[in-house]
Structure 1
């Protein structure tokens, strides 16, 4: 499962979804955590119309992710993410990425919440179709 973390420091979840300069990407399974690198985001948007493009741009960058962790996210942006199949999770600013990776891996190995089980089933069906 591909997971993203909004980050300024590259080690902590310390950025608002719409203001994050980068997202750290990881592939997480019950057996392993694999770093996939960082994707960097453009930061300059002059008008409200550009703000809509910002959300679209970030959704494009995060395509394939199941979850994105951030310190904050606006309601409309969160709704658009969910509609695109990405589940936003808000955590306290400064939360270590490593801790959330370990927590997610434990969830995957045990009894994940319903929304996560559904996503895992979707990914499993997609892989079987390939």
Structure 2
């Protein structure tokens, strides 16, 4: 079973997305902010990370920057899932090394497809 780390500060979004991913047969660990997400990423070593951008303590951009410099986590596919939908936000996320960038509200199929595509790419 593939492991996903979901970093999201909104309880409702975190719980709903976690349920969706578990129903799709993923093992999911959640974090409610960026600092907690970094700790869990280094302990859990997920197959993929899904992260919000706008969070207290440490935003998603900071999470990606920190994880991308750690050899243990730098190769883990990283998907932003965020309400920030401006072109500049998307470009910033991709320039930092995100593998994908999905905006809220999102379609269930869109998220699952993005995850599957990133996991397939890692197995090549």
TM above 0.5: no
Higher gyration radius (CA): 1
Q: Greater share of helix residues, 1 or 2?
A: 2
Band the TM-score falls in, shorter-chain normalisation:
0.3 to 0.5
Q: Greater share of strand residues, 1 or 2?
A: 1
Ranked by relative contact order (alpha carbons within 8 Å, sequence separation 6 or more), the top structure is 1
TM-score, structure 2 normalization: 0.44
